[in-house]
C-alpha cells in the first residue's frame, strides 16, 4: 500500500512541476517548496479528532516501527539526507567542520575536526542498543566524532556553568540550569534545538510500545524520558523540549530531510515536522483540544481508517469473544450504516446504524467473533452514509483450540478483571499477576569497530590475508591463504556478549572461528548475506584478546564487531498471594493495585497438563476519586552513584519510597527542600511526599 501511495503522489508531483515550469518558473519554485512540506493525502486521517495520549497513540499506529536501513547503510543515506549546499557533510554539533562524505568517516579521533560519525541524538544506551531504533534516520545525524564522544549519553538541557564546549561554543557541556534538573547535560546550538526536540517527540511516539523498557537514568544522570508511554518525558524535559520546539520552528532542512527519509528509506514520516502543532495537542497548551489537519467541513470518517486492517489475533474456537472498536467521524450529514460481509457467520455486530451524534462523539462499536472453523477468519466491515466516502475495513482473526488468556476487562485505577478461555478437562486455574524488576548494571561497551577505515583498525593485529581497501568491511582469507584479525588487549574479567556482523564470500560456505587468548571458543557457519552472530563469553582476564579467523578458500567479510558487558536482568515479581488457584472459573477480579501502572498476568490450567497461557499486559487507569487527586508538585529525583537526591519537597513533610508492590522501602522526615539518602536497591520504585495524610508530590523512579 505504501509503494502505491509513493507512486501516485510522486508522479502527480512531478507532473505538476513539469506543467508549471512551462508557465511560470517562479511560481513553480514557490509551490514546489510548499508541496514538499506536506504529507501525502490521508496519511494522518486516523489521528484526526484526538488529543493527548490518544493522539500520540494514533500517531504511533501511523508511523511506528519503521523499516529502517542497516547501520552501515546510514553512511550512504547521509549523502542524501544531510548534505550542505556546498556538498559537504551537514554537522549538527560543530560549525567549523567541512567533512567530505566517505573520505572523512570515523575512524579514530583525538580532537574536533578529525572525522564525522553517526550520532544517536537519542542515545542508544537509553534503549539498550535495540532495533530498529538504533538505525532510525529520524534520530541519527552526522556529527563531529570528538564532540559526539564528549556528549556521550547525557541528556539534552540548557547549560549554566560550562565545563566544556566545541569550537565557538557551538555545543556545550555543563551543569543544567533549566528548572527541574541540575545534573550535567549537553546543550546543542540554538540552530538545531527545534530539530532535536521534534526528533525526541518522534522517538517516544514511533516506539511507544517499547518505552517501558527504556532507561530513565544512567551513570551520567537522568535521561529526558520516563518509563511510560505517556507522557513519555519527565516533567522538566517536556517544558524544555516544548520551549525549543516553539523557539526554533521547522526549517526547510527538516522538511527536505523528512521527505528524503520517507520516500527514500523508511516509508514513514516525522509528524511533528509535518504538523508542528501536534506537540501542543499532546503535551502543550492545546492538550485536551482535538487536533485536525485541516479546517475543512467535509464529512469524514476518522476511525477506523478506510483500507486499514483490524487484527484480533488468536481467538478461541467455537467461543464468542467481544472486541470494541471506536467509530468516530466529523461533519456528518446524517447517520452511518454498518455492515459485514464475507464472514461465514464468524463475525457479528450489535447495531446496523450509528447516529450522527454518537459517531461524532465517538461510538464504541462491539464486534463479536465466534469462529465455526479453525484457522484464519476474515471479514470486511463497511461503514457508509452520513456524507462520507464508503469505507471498508478488513477484519482478521486466527481461530485456535489452544488455551488462551484473554484481554482484561473492567480496568480501573486499582483493579481489573483477568479473563481466559475454557481448557478442556481442567479442574481449576492458577492465575499469576506480576510486574518486572531489573537487577544488575547497565551494559557497558568495551570495544566497537565497524571497519569503515582503510586498513586494520588501530591496535588490532592481522595475520595472513586481510583486505578492506573499500573501507566498508574487512575481508579475511583468500583462495590460498588463511586470514585473521586480533583485538587489542581487553578487560574480559567479567562475562560479556560479543556480536559480530559477518557473511561468507559467495559460494565459499565459510566458517568463522572465534578464539579467546589463542584458544578456540566458537565456530560459526555463515550465510551469503550479512547477519548478526551472538556469542556469550564467560569471564577471562583483564588482558585478554579475541581473534577472528577464516581458512583459505573459505573467505568471509566482517562488517561490525561489538563487545559489551552483560546488561541488567529482568525478573518477574509476583504480587503478594500470587500465583494463586482461583478455582474452576473463567475470570477473576484482581484488586489492590497501584493506579497508572503496568501489570501482567498469565493463566495455567490445572489437572489436564495444558501449558501456561501467553502474557497479557494491563495498564491501570489514573485515579478518579476526589480523595486521590491533588495538585501534585513536580518532584525531581535523580541518582549520583548509590545516592538518591529528591528536591521540590515541602518542609515538615515525610518522604517515603515504595516498591511497585506497595512495600515501603524507606522513609524520612523532610527538613529541607532537597534531601539525599543512600539507596542500594534495584528496580522500579514510587517516591511520595506526604503531609497531614495528603500526597503533595509523587514520582516513579528506576534504579539500575
Nearby residues of 231 by Cβ (< 8 Å), 6 or more positions away = 53, 238, 283
Whether residue 10 has pLDDT greater than 60: no
For residue 34, what pLDDT band results from cuts at 50, 70 and 90?
A: very low
Q: In this predicted structure, what is the pLDDT of residue 351?
A: 85
Q: Give the model confidence (pLDDT) of 180-216 as tens digits.
A: 888 899 999 999 999 999 999 999 999 998 888 898 8
Whether residue 524 has pLDDT greater than 90: yes
At CA 442, angle to CA 547 and CA 225, rounded to 5? 130
Whether residue 432 has pLDDT greater than 90: yes
| CA–CA gap between residue 245 and residue 200 (Å, rounded) | 10
Q: Give the model confidence (pLDDT) of 138-179 as tens digits.
A: 999 999 999 999 999 999 999 998 999 999 999 999 999 998
DSSP letter string, 419-431: EE---TT-SEEEE
| CA–CA gap between residue 591 and residue 416 (Å, rounded) | 7
| CA–CA gap between residue 586 and residue 257 (Å, rounded) | 52
Q: What are phi and psi of 265, to 5 degrees?
A: -140, -55
**Chain center to CA of 649:** 32
| CA–CA gap between residue 484 and residue 463 (Å, rounded) | 5
| CA–CA gap between residue 68 and residue 74 (Å, rounded) | 9
Max Cα-Cα span within the chain: 82
Q: Give the model confidence (pLDDT) of 585-605 as tens digits.
A: 999 999 988 776 789 999 999
Q: In this predicted structure, what is the pLDDT of residue 115?
A: 96
Cα distances from 366 to residues 112, 247, 338, 453, in angstroms, run 61, 45, 11, 59
DSSP letter string, 19-42: HHHTT-HHHHHHHHHHHHTSPPTT
Q: Give the model confidence (pLDDT) of 472-522 as tens digits.
A: 689 999 989 999 999 999 999 988 999 999 999 888 889 999 999 999 999
Q: In this predicted structure, what is the pLDDT of residue 637?
A: 75
Q: Give the model confidence (pLDDT) of 433-476 as tens digits.
A: 998 765 555 567 788 888 877 778 888 999 999 887 654 689 99
Helix, strand, coil shares of the chain as percentages rounded to 5? 20, 35, 45
Q: What rounded mean pLDDT belongs to the chain?
A: 83
Whether residue 545 has pLDDT greater than 70: yes
Nearby residues of 284 by Cβ (< 8 Å), 6 or more positions away = 242
Q: Give the model confidence (pLDDT) of 86-121 as tens digits.
A: 999 999 999 999 999 999 999 889 999 999 999 999
Nearby residues of 473 by Cβ (< 8 Å), 6 or more positions away = 72, 451, 557, 558, 559
Cell of residue 117, nine digits: 560519525
At CA 207, angle to CA 593 and CA 242, rounded to 5? 90
Between strands 391-400 and 309-316, the pairing is parallel
Which has more confidence, 628 or 621? 621
Nearby residues of 25 by Cβ (< 8 Å), 6 or more positions away = none
Mean pLDDT for 390-405 is: 88
Which has more confidence, 339 or 666? 339
Mean pLDDT for 654-659 is: 80
Q: In this predicted structure, what is the pLDDT of residue 669?
A: 85
At CA 343, angle to CA 338 and CA 347, rounded to 5? 65
Amino acid at each position: 500500500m505504501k509503494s502505491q501511495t509513493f507512486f501516485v503522489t510522486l508522479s502527480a508531483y512531478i507532473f505538476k512541476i513539469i506543467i508549471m515550469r512551462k508557465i511560470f518558473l517562479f511560481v513553480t519554485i514557490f509551490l514546489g517548496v510548499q508541496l514538499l512540506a506536506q504529507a501525502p493525502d490521508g496519511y494522518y486521517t486516523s489521528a484526526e479528532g484526538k488529543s493527548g495520549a490518544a493522539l500520540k497513540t494514533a500517531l504511533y499506529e501511523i508511523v511506528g516501527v519503521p523499516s529502517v536501513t542497516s547501520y552501515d547503510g546510514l553512511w550512504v543515506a547521509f549523502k542524501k539526507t544531510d548534505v550542505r549546499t556546498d556538498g559537504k557533510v551537514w554537522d549538527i554539533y560543530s560549525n567549523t567542520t567541512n567533512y567530505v562524505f566517505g573520505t572523512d568517516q570515523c575512524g579514530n579521533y583525538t580532537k574536533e575536526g578529525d572525522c564525522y560519525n553517526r550520532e544517536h541524538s537519542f542515545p542508544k544506551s537509553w534503549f539498550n542498543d535495540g532495533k530498529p531504533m538504533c538505525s532510525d534516520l529520524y534520530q541519527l545525524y552526522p556529527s563531529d566524532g570528538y564532540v559526539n564522544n564528549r556528549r556521550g549519553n547525557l541528556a539534552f538541557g540548557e547549560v549554566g556553568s560550562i565545563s566544556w564546549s566545541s569550537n565557538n561554543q557551538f555545543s556545550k557541556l555543563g551543569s543544567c540550569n533549566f528548572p527541574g534538573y541540575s545534573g550535567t547535560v549537553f546543550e546543542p546550538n540554538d540552530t538545531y534545538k527545534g530539530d532535536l526536540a521534534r526528533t525526541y517527540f518522534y522517538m517516544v511516539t514511533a516506539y511507544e510500545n517499547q518505552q517501558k523498557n527504556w532507561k530513565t537514568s544512567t551513570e551520567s544522570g537522568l535521561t529526558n524520558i520516563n518509563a511510560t508511554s505517556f507522557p513519555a518525558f519527565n516533567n522538566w524535559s517536556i517544558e524544555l523540549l516544548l520551549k525549543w520546539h516553539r523557539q526554533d520552528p521547522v526549517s526547510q532542512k527538516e522538511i527536505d530531510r523528512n521527505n528524503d527519509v520517507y520516500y527514500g528509506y523508511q516509508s514513514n514520516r516525522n509528524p511533528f515536522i509535518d504538523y508542528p502543532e501536534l506537540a501542543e495537542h499532546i503535551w502543550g497548551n492545546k492538550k485536551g483540544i482535538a487536533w485536525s489537519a485541516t479546517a475543512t467541513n467535509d464529512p469524514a470518517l476518522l476511525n477506523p481508517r478506510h483500507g486499514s486492517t483490524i487484527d484480533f489475533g488468536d481467538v478461541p474456537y467455537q467461543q464468542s469473544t467481544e472486541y470494541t472498536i471506536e467509530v468516530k467521524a466529523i461533519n456528518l450529514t446524517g447517520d452511518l450504516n454498518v455492515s459485514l460481509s464475507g464472514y461465514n457467520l464468524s463475525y457479528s455486530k450489535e447495531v446496523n446504524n450509528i447516529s450522527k451524534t454518537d459517531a461524532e462523539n465517538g461510538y464504541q462499536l462491539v464486534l463479536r467473533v465466534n469462529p465455526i472453523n479453525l484457522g484464519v477468519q476474515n471479514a470486511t466491515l463497511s461503514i457508509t452514509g452520513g456524507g462520507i466516502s464508503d469505507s471498508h475495513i478488513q477484519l482478521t482473526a486466527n481461530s485456535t483450540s489452544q488455551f488462551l488468556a484473554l484481554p482484561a476487562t473492567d480496568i480501573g485505577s486499582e483493579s481489573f478483571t483477568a479473563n481466559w478461555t475454557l481448557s478442556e478437562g481442567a479442574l481449576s486455574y492458577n492465575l499469576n499477576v506480576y510486574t518486572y524488576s531489573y537487577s544488575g548494571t547497565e551494559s557497558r561497551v568495551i570495544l566497537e569497530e565497524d571497519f569503515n577505515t582503510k586498513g586494520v583498525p588501530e591496535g588490532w593485529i592481522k595475520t595472513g590475508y586481510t583486505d578492506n581497501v573499500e573501507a566498508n568491511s574487512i575481508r579475511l582469507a583468500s583462495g590460498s591463504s588463511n586470514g585473521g584479525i586480533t583485538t587489542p588487549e581487553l578487560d574480559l574479567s567479567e562475562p560479556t556478549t560479543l556480536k559480530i556482523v559477518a557473511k561468507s564470500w559467495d559460494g565459499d560456505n565459510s566458517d568463522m572461528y572465534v578464539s579467546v587468548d589463542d584458544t578456540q571458543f566458537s565456530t560459526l557457519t555463515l550465510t551469503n548475506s550479512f547477519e548478526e552472530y551472538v556469542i556469550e563469553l564467560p569471564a577471562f582476564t583483564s588482558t585478554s584478546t579475541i581473534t577472528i579467523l577464516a581458512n583459505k578458500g573459505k573467505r568471509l567479510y566482517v562488517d561490525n564487531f561489538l563487545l559489551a558487558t552483560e546488561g541488567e536482568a529482568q525478573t518477574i515479581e509476583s504480587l503478594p498471594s500470587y500465583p494463586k488457584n482461583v478455582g474452576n472459573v473463567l475470570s477473576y477480579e484482581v484488586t489492590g493495585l497501584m493506579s497508572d501502572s503496568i501489570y501482567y498476568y498469565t493463566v495455567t490450567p490445572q489437572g489436564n497438563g495444558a501449558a501456561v497461557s501467553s502474557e497479557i499486559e494491563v495498564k491501570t487507569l489514573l485515579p478518579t476519586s476526589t480523595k486521590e487527586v491533588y495538585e501534585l508538585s513536580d518532584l525531581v529525583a535523580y541518582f549520583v552513584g548509590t545516592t538518591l537526591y529528591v528536591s521540590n519537597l515541602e518542609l515538615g513533610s515525610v518522604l517515603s519510597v515504595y516498591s511497585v508492590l506497595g512495600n515501603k522501602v524507606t522513609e524520612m522526615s523532610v527538613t529541607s527542600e532537597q534531601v539525599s539518602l543512600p539507596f542500594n536497591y534495584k528496580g522500579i520504585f514510587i517516591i511520595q511526599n506526604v503531609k497531614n495524610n495528603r500526597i503533595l508530590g509523587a514520582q516513579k523512579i528506576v534504579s539500575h
